[in-house]
Structure 1
Amino acid sequence: MSRTLPVQCPSCNEVMEISELTCPACDTRVQGHFPAPALLRLSAEQMQFVETFLRCRGNIKEVERDLKISYPTVRSRLNQVIRTLGYPVTQGPEDERMEQVLNALDKGELTFEQAMDWIREENTRE
């Protein structure tokens, strides 16, 4: 059974710190307060996306094929990862609208056909 490092406190949900490191070979221990790496803040789904993105060397077309998702969905997931890591996502108004449409589709607030109509309309404007 594989265990994962807990990153959020089960009591208050704050990000936890690493306070001890142990060498498995000689049992040397180092104690202190070490912040967890930013990547540990990612959810399991986000981490899987990042691994796929890296394996595809950042080629969005390959990520689309590998995960069987659309270009806007790849962009949306990438933006979510960037935000989770604490970086700002610079987007134009059309990017923000695309993300809103994708989120509405994900929540069931829009049908697939409605979302596709909006995407087609946006593509004819370009």
Structure 2
Amino acid sequence: MNYKAPSQCPICNDELKITRMSCSKCKTNLEGQFSGCKFCKLPKDQLEFIEVFIKSRGSIKDVEKELGISYPTVRNRLEGVIQALGYRIDKIRDDMEEDALLENTSEKRQEILRGLENGEISPQEAAEQLRKLGK
């Protein structure tokens, strides 16, 4: 059984370095000081969240559905992962808000086109609604 290597010292909480690695097939051993990857340092719940996020191709709605959590909770968990990886939140938050706005606009466009296709609205109404979205 393989266990996840700890990333912090249990005594002083400083970063632990990997000092020895070995190949189970050919028995080669390496010694030195190696750093673990950023993701290896994340707790299990954040790694599971990242896996769902990637599997969902970054769709917050799909993450909401799969994990059974709300939009704000998805955003908070994502921000937690971003901070844990050592990135600043403010720039990323602005980019995410812009992406959410674009996704929302795209969904509204699709709804308008579906309404037009189903005969629920006239071409003039669809054109007017699409113009309003563009503003």
TM exceeds 0.5? yes
Cα offset, 1:2, TM superposition: 4.9
The 2-side partners of 1:60 and 1:2 are apart by 32
Matching residue of 2:19: 19
How far apart in 2 are the matches of 1:46 and 1:15?
Answer: 18
Task: State the Cα RMSD in Å.
Answer: 1.6
Identity of aligned residues (%): 42
Residues 2 and 30 (structure 1 numbering): CA distance in 2 closer, same or farther, change over 3 Å? closer
Partner of 1:122: none
The normalised TM-score by structure 2 is 0.64
Unaligned runs of 5+ in 2: 98-135
TM-score in terms of structure 1 length: 0.68
* Displacement over 6 Å in runs of 4+: none
> Structure 1, unaligned stretches of length 5 or more?
96-126
Which structure carries more helix by proportion? 2
- Partner Cα separation in structure 2 for residue 56 and residue 17 of structure 1: 33
Matches within 5 A, 1:28-107: 28-90=28-90, 91=93
* Bigger Rg over Cα: 2
Corresponding pairs, count: 93
Between 1 and 2, higher relative CO (CA 8 Å, sep ≥ 6) is seen in: 1
> What is the deviation of 1:77?
0.4
The aligned residue for residue 103 of structure 1 is none
